[in-house]
Every structure is written in C-alpha cells, then in structure tokens.
Amino acid sequence: MDSRSNTRRERTFQYDEDLPPLPVPSLQQTLHKYLQSVKPFLSEEELHETEGIVGEFAHGVGKTLHAKLVDRSEKRKNWLEQWWEEKAYLETRLPLGVLQNPSGPIPAQESMWPPREGTQLERGAICLWHLLSFYQLVRKEMLPVDKNRAGTQIFSMNQFRGMFHSCREPGLEKDTLYRYFKTEREGPCPTHVHVMCNGHIFKMTVFDRNGQLLTAAEIYRQMSYIKDMSRERGQCVGALTGDDRPTYAKAFEHLVSLDPANRAHIETIKSSIVGCIMDDGHPTTMAGTCAHGIAGPSPHNRWFDKGYSTIITSNGCACSNLDHAPFDGMVVVALSMYIHHRMLKDGGDMPGKPTVRPDIPMPIEMIFTVDQRVRDDIQHATETYHKLASTFDIVCSSYYQYGKDFMKKHKMHPDATIQLALQLAYYTATGKPGAAYETATTRQFYHGRTDTMRSCSMEAIDWCKAMLDSRADPTHQLSLLRRAHDKHNTLMAEAASGQGIDRHLLGLYILSQEMGLPVPDLFTDKAYTLSGGGGNFPLSTSTLGYTPILGSIAPMRNDGYMCCYRIGKEELQFTVSAFKNCAETDAYQLFHEITLALNKIGNLLLSAKL
C-alpha cells in the first residue's frame, strides 16, 4: 500500500483493491472449533454422535468440498461475497418489512430534538441536507478511510458504495440488487431523491445544474410543496414492497406490464440517491421511534427494496429504514455519527444560508397506471405487513450503574463483558444455554463484511452455572468470569481475522448443493441447528460501538431475541426486540435480566478489590 506516500490526502476507496483476499480456514481447524461450539447444547451421548458425524465429514465429502472452496478462493479475492449477498439476502423469501430491514433513531431525539408537532418539514430538510453532504464526501472520495485505533489496519470501504443509489427488484426465487453509485472520478450519478408522503411518490432533484447541493432552505421548500400536494391519500404503490417476496414478484411483474411509465417510475426510485419519507405517526420515546422505523403504522410510505431511506414522523422524530443486502450496520453508524456531529455543531438549526432560488425545478409526482388487480395486491400486501407489525415488540432502555470506564478499570473488555451478561440473562430467563450470534467484522479483507462470532462457549456456560449456584464461592465465580471473558476475546479476534466457522461451513454447504450432492449429515444433525447453524440463533446480537447511535432489527427466529447495544463511558444502552405472538419470549423480561446480570458482574469485579 505504498500509494499512501504518493498523495497528500487519502481517497476513500484508494486502498480497497490492495486489501488481502478473504482467507479460507483449514478444514481441521473449523471442524474442531465447531465441535467446541456445540458442546453447550448436547448431552455426552449426543456429542459422541455428533463427533462421529463430523469425523466422517472430515475424511469424506468435507475434504472434497473444502478442496473446491480453496480452488474458488484462488480465483476470487473474496470467495464469499456473491454467495453471502445471494443466500443471506436476495434468496430469502420473507417480507423485508418488519422481518429483515433494520432501523434506528437519531440521538438528537433525546437532546436538541424532542418530539414536537409542526417540526416535520424543517427537521426533515435538515436531516436530508446533512445526509446529502455525507453523500458528497463519498462521491468526492473525501470520507476518511476507516482504520483500527492504532492506524495500522486499513478496512474496506466498499460497503459505502452500496449505501447510495442502490435498490433491489423482486424475483420469484431470487431478488436482483442494483447499484448505480459512482465516484466523481468514475462518472456522473443521478441527482435526485425520491420522496414519499401520504401514499404519494415524488422525484425531487437535490443538485442544481452546476452540480451544487441545494441549500437546506431550498430542500425545505421542496418538501413543503410535496406535503401540500399530498393532503389526500395517494396510490400507496409502495405498500407492494411489504409483501412476501414471491407474492410481491408477481404483483411487480403485473404492475410494470400495465404501462411503460410504471417501469420508468420504478427506475427513478431504484436510481435515486436515497429515499426520504415524510411519515404519519407520533412516537414519543426512542423505543417508539425505533419501532416506527421497523414496524411503523403503515407500509404506504415505504419502498422496502431501497438501500437507504430516511424517515421523519409527524412530530419530528427521525429514523431510517434500510435494506441489509448492500451494506452492514457499522456503515450506517458512520453516516449517523456524521449527521449527529453536524447537528451538534449547528445546534439542530437549519444549516447554511437561507437562500431559496426561484428557478429550482419543483418535485414531480410519479403517477402509476393501476387496475383493480394492483389495488387488490396493495391491499394484500398491507394486510401482510400489518399482521407482522402487530407482533413486533421492542424495548429501548439504559443501564446507568457503569459503562466503559468501569470495565476498562477492571481489565475487562466492554464488549466481552456485555456479551457474558447477555448469556447469563438468557440462561436465567430460559434455564438453558442461548446459542448466540455476534457480528464480527471482516473488513480488513477485500470487500469484507462479517462473520459469526459464536459467543455461547462452554466457558461462558460454566460461568453462568456458577453464578446461579448459591453455594459457589465468589472467587471461583470471578475466575470463571475472566476465563469466559478471555475465551470470548479469542473467538472474536479469530472471527475478525477470517478464521470464523459459520461462513466457512456455509461455503461448504453451498458447494454441496451446486455439485448436486445430498446434504451432508453435518448440516442435518440436530447439533447444527441447536448451536445456531443455518440462521437459527435464538439470541442475535450486535454492538454499535462507543457511539451514541442506536439501532435494531427483528430476531432471526420467531422464538428468539435481537439485542443491540451501544457503550458509553458511564452508561450502556440497549434495544431488545422479540415477537409478541411467541409465549416463550418477552423483550421486557430479558432486558430486566440483562440489568441484573450486569449488576452481578459489577459486584464480582468490586469484590476482587475488597
């Protein structure tokens, strides 16, 4: 990466092509670690049976599949990239609305922007202007390159390309993802966003003919015009995107067959920089705003296929809705942090000059040609969405006993500490180990995204059992805590360095299917599902780092939980989501258990100083 010495300013994407290829772990290592990861969920007899299955796989078809995977890795710098996009996202047939698309509120709601009626247009214009300023940085390749804290490890910036001008189209068996983003050096990009309001969809140009971003005041005027033109309920075509993918695919094909103009409108939406939604709804809490973004009151103002959409409610609460296929959460955190800092600088007020030029083109509404079938399809999709949204539950709350500083003082990594608290909380609430997914970033590699860090280790469960044993000595409990903590850190470091197990196993599974082979026994063995394999983690988790940013997404399973958290210096904040129609889960109860688990950890650490 000697190019760093040849330029005074690093360009956003300048190192991406130089990053090392995603490695393929050794088969022996992956299978050994896999056996370690399934132990918490099996009896001795069951473990013995699974060991036999894994051994047969290692010396049989697994060896063949692994050789094929190594061969693939020698021909592609990222052997996983296409598979992951397709299998994890584009081939999933569940609705994007509620079940797949994440969201998050902006921190300003708890400070300079409390909910207030009459602020929707002004706050919406401010949010969109800051978002587009960030977009300009990416287009101009002026966004700083992400690195580790020491500045010695460069991370892939490729996902920032997927945040803008991206959208998918539905298919019966697989969706198609479209990306239109280019840097300024690579060529021109469309200069519009699409705006949704009361079931209407508008094309709004946000750059003038000289390529300059409109002022925030000009964007405010444009949004005011759209609001005024949307007093009556619109066609609500966007609701179609909330149905299950095969049903939506049929409805989509019919819609575009009615009129070439319908296809042109969809191309306008697909190629837009982002979506901007002026929404109904009056959330009053961070939990309410987060729920609004994921499972809001109506799908009529959504285009769930769109890569990124910013949402502003009637009472001025801001959040987002985004397709997970083109990018991961930490890219959104970077955008949110940029907007947050710019808003702090401006005090939440309208940035820039109050200039409003008279010759800026007004937004144009996209009117679709529809028939009774389209109207019926919209009604069906709306019912599908409402049924799912009515089951979504979320808690957003804080823990104030301690934060990063306390954990660091006691030589505990904050993320590992919180993950162990989640394990203890789940074990206490359910009486059994919780197969847990934690996101591990692999962005140090070419086009790297994520791997799974399986945080339910035997070391963690041994500690949980000791914590629930009233006869256990605190010194012993503390020793087990540190042992589990160190194991967690080791597993996370391995996953981030491309030595995780789940993506490797996924690659072997996909190859078996592409080769027309029977599904190997390893993947049908109950140990695989019980330990979370195949997207079956009852506890899915993700850290948002040392930031003020929050977010959430639905659990992987109907009987599961999703827990996101941010780490402050003196406090922690969580979102816990679950489904109301599952009698076995309760988001409020799990959050309560998390706070109790954190208290117990804090008391253990303090006891060591007595």
d(CA 408, CA 251): 54
Other Cβ atoms less than 10 A from the Cβ of 584: the count is: 12
**How far apart are the two ends of the chain, measured CA to CA in Å?**
51
Q: How far is CA 535 from the centre of its chain?
A: 15
Is 132 in contact with 359 (CB distance < 8 Å)? Answer: no
Q: Which residue has the tokens 């894994």?
A: 54
Which token pair is 462? 């041994």
Give catalytic status of residue 592 as yes or no.
no
Q: What single-letter amino acid sits at 124? A: G
Backbone angles phi, psi at 393, to 5 degrees: -135, 145
d(CA 88, CA 175): 11
- Give the E-state strand segments of 142-295 in sequence order: 166-169, 176-179, 192-197, 200-205, 275-278
Element (H, E) at 505: helix 502-514
Per this entry, what is the length of the chain? 610
d(CA 63, CA 49): 20
d(CA 412, CA 489): 10
CA angle 116, 396, 125 (to 5 degrees): 35
d(CA 170, CA 600): 48
Which token pair is 18? 């130089």
Which is catalytic among the residues 282, 324, 386, 410? 324
Residues annotated catalytic, as ranges: 324
